[in-house]
A and B are shown apart, each in its own frame.
Chain A
Amino acid sequence: MMDCSQFREFLAELDRPGVLPAEVREQAFIHAENCGDCGQLLTESESLDAEMRRLIVKDGHLRAAMRVESNLVKAFRERKAAGARESMRRFAVVIGVAAIVLLSVGFWLYRRTEAKTGSPVVTTTARAVPMEPKANAVNVRDHDSSRAVQQGRAGASLSHGEASQSARAASNGASQVASEDASEFIPLPDADYPVTLDDGAVVRVEMPRADLAAFGLPVEAMEGDGTVRADLIVSADGTPQAIRLVSQDDANATKQR
């Protein structure tokens, strides 16, 4: 049998479906029938429930004004536009970072190659090298010697005969790369006529001995195995203009430098 304190405990939930077990509700109603005070409480509680239901119905149609919706739609659009701008900004940042990384890697590779060769390096794009240097040929560009080649010439345009002279001058200028024992530059058959050496470069290559011998170079006198080191003068358009032999000792000395 339910007492008054238990009844009051359950009173608020008598009208809520599914909260109290059916037998508890039944006992509560039986108690209210037999207890005047609790019966009064139940009546007031039911009256409160009825008034609240009326209030729910009455307020059921209440909505915020349309201007709230308009304001929110405006804010949503602004936010969306800002989001798109932010996405673009992030994309630009990603591209920028990627570019920086690529540049850093490039610079690092440049430095690493420079450290290996011990001299400033520019990868030349010498094309149509007739003597097919080995894959690991070292491409050396020595600005000083190049300048020397150019200074050694009176003008930019030279005849093939003059190329030999200029090659000699280049040989003097390029002595910072190779030793005094290096042979003289010999103009190559595919050289330009007149030979143009503006902004040319001296390129160190390693070539099969037989290929060099075909140009009439004195490779027999040189020590070493089947390959020989040589310096090529390459014009600005990448065409090899002249060649000279470099003894192995000189090459080693150059490497060490």
Chain B
Amino acid sequence: MKRSNEPTDEGLLGQMKAGDEDAFLLLYRRKHPALYRFALHMSGNAAVAEDVTQEVFMALIRDAGRFDPARGSLGGFLFGIARNHLRKRWEQEQRFVAFADDPDEVPAVVPANGNGNGRHADRYDDEATARLRRAIATLPENYREALVLCELQEMSYDEAAAALECPVGTVRSRLHRARALLTEKLRDDRRVDRAPAVGE
């Protein structure tokens, strides 16, 4: 919850435009985690996610005047920039799905007790999460965007629509479709997992 004496995003942006480095840092620290995770879920690659995060704030430094509060929140504006950068990269590289042997692959989030000998529940948790990551990474880009923004970034439809520059109805239908595809993929994965067990 935001405390009332905390400066608003727009206020920080104004100070940043006036050359206040502290305001810029505060804004970066406030906004970058969600952007980084969005880029990470979209690209499946930590290095790409970092590059995109950096590019978003570089764009803000270069031309903060592009942000128009009348057209949406600063967060939505930044997600829009991130999305455009991701799309450019997508067009350039045509490879966004993480590879198992890619060192920058979607994290390898080590559990708190994590040296590989954790409890069974933790291992299951990691497997389920890894399976979900893989499934998300294979979704078509526009469905993935809607899913990541609305579900993983917990944005409202309005915010997601502003970031994706499309109507709210489009966001809803894409999200609906994304969830259906994801459910299907996870169901298939579970079937594949179970199949050898039956044969044993």
Instruction: Give the distance to chain A from B144, nearest Cβ to Cβ, in Å.
Output: 13
Q: Which residues does chain A contribute within 8 Å of B175, judged by CB atoms?
A: 12
Q: Which residues does chain B contribute within 8 Å of A63, judged by CB atoms?
A: 32-33, 36
Between A and B, how many residue pairs show CB distances below 8 Å? 91
Q: Is A69 an interface residue (CB 8 A)?
A: yes
Contact of B152 among A52, A64, A73 (CB under 8 A): A52
In the bound complex, what is the Cα–Cα distance between A208 and B63 (angstroms)?
70
Q: Which residues does chain A contribute within 8 Å of B57, judged by CB atoms?
A: 72
Q: Is B40 an interface residue (CB 8 A)?
A: yes
User: Once the chains bind, are B19 and A54 in contact (CB under 8 Å)?
Assistant: no
Contact of B28 among A9, A44, A69 (CB under 8 A): A69
Instruction: Give the distance to chain B from A84, nearest Cβ to Cβ, in Å.
Output: 8
User: Once the chains bind, are B176 and A12 in contact (CB under 8 Å)?
Assistant: yes
User: Once the chains bind, are A48 and B129 in contact (CB under 8 Å)?
Assistant: no
User: Once the chains bind, are B179 and A48 in contact (CB under 8 Å)?
Assistant: yes
Q: Is A71 an interface residue (CB 8 A)?
A: yes
Q: Which residues does chain B contribute within 8 Å of A48, judged by CB atoms?
A: 179, 182-183, 186
Q: Is A62 an interface residue (CB 8 A)?
A: yes
User: Once the chains bind, are B151 and A52 in contact (CB under 8 Å)?
Assistant: yes
Query: Contacts A55-B132, A55-B152, A59-B40: A73 and B54 contacting too (C-beta < 8 A)?
Result: no
Query: Contacts A12-B179, A75-B61, A79-B61: A65 and B21 contacting too (C-beta < 8 A)?
Result: no
Interface size on B, residues (CB 8 A): 40
In the bound complex, what is the Cα–Cα distance between A20 and B129 (angstroms)?
28
Q: Is B25 an interface residue (CB 8 A)?
A: yes
Q: Which bucket holds chain A's interface residue count?
A: 20 to 34
Question: Considering only CB atoms, which chain B residue lies closest to A79 in the complex?
Answer: B61
Q: Is A156 an interface residue (CB 8 A)?
A: no
Can you list, as one digit per residue, whether each of B45-58 has a CB less than 8 Å from chain A (1) or not (0)?
Answer: 00001100110011
Question: Considering only CB atoms, which chain A residue lies closest to B107 in the complex?
Answer: A62
Question: Considering only CB atoms, which chain A residue lies closest to B132 in the complex?
Answer: A51
Residues of A68-91 contacting chain B, CB below 8 A = 68-69, 71-73, 75-77, 79-80, 83
In the bound complex, what is the Cα–Cα distance between A243 and B50 (angstroms)?
89
In the bound complex, what is the Cα–Cα distance between A63 and B35 (angstroms)?
9
Question: Considering only CB atoms, which chain B residue lies closest to A68 in the complex?
Answer: B54
Q: Is A98 an interface residue (CB 8 A)?
A: no
In the bound complex, what is the Cα–Cα distance between A80 and B24 (angstroms)?
12
Contact of A62 among B37, B132, B157, B172 (CB under 8 A): B37
Residues of A22-70 contacting chain B, CB below 8 A = 41, 44-45, 47-48, 51-52, 54-56, 58-59, 62-65, 68-69
Other 14 A-B pairs with CB < 8 A, given A48-B182, A59-B109, A72-B58: A12-B172, A13-B172, A44-B186, A44-B187, A45-B183, A51-B129, A52-B132, A55-B152, A58-B129, A64-B32, A64-B33, A64-B49, A68-B32, A73-B21
Q: Which 6 A-B pairs have the closest CB atoms?
A: A12-B176, A64-B53, A64-B36, A44-B183, A51-B132, A12-B179
